[in-house]
């Protein structure tokens, strides 16, 4: 249990809070993770549709770096068999089964 004292215009206000109780309210929320293949396809669709001018414009609108957009879009260069297998995982993912960083070495390689 915490206590916060605030003074406004000569008056003191006391606020009591129970941080542990507040955290319990959010314990049922499960974190989900995006499947980067789906994300890459969404990025490509946004660019191809003309909603943004280019990768730089997309990065600006998403609040991420241009390099990050490029990294994600490069996943579309994976062998089609790998992409199909990754799509089978679905989107969103319940855990970080696979990350973009794990897939980088496989870009531009054959399925062998």
Give per-residue pLDDT as tens, 28-53: 667 789 999 999 999 999 999 999 99
CA distance 18 to 48: 50
Q: What is the mean pLDDT of the chain?
A: 86
What's the pTM value of the predicted model, to 2 decimals? Answer: 0.70
């Amino acid at each position: 249990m915490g206590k916060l004292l605030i003074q406004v215009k000569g008056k003191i206000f006391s606020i009591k809070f129970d941080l542990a109780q507040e955290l319990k309210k959010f314990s049922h929320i499960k974190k989900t993770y995006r499947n980067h293949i789906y994300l890459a396809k969404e990025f490509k669709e946004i660019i191809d549709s003309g909603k943004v001018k280019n990768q730089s414009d997309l990065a600006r609108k998403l609040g991420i770096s241009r390099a990050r957009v490029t990294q994600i879009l490069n996943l579309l260069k994976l062998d089609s068999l790998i992409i199909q297998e990754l799509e089978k995982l679905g989107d969103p993912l319940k855990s970080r089964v696979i990350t973009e960083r794990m897939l980088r070495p496989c870009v531009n390689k054959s399925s062998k």
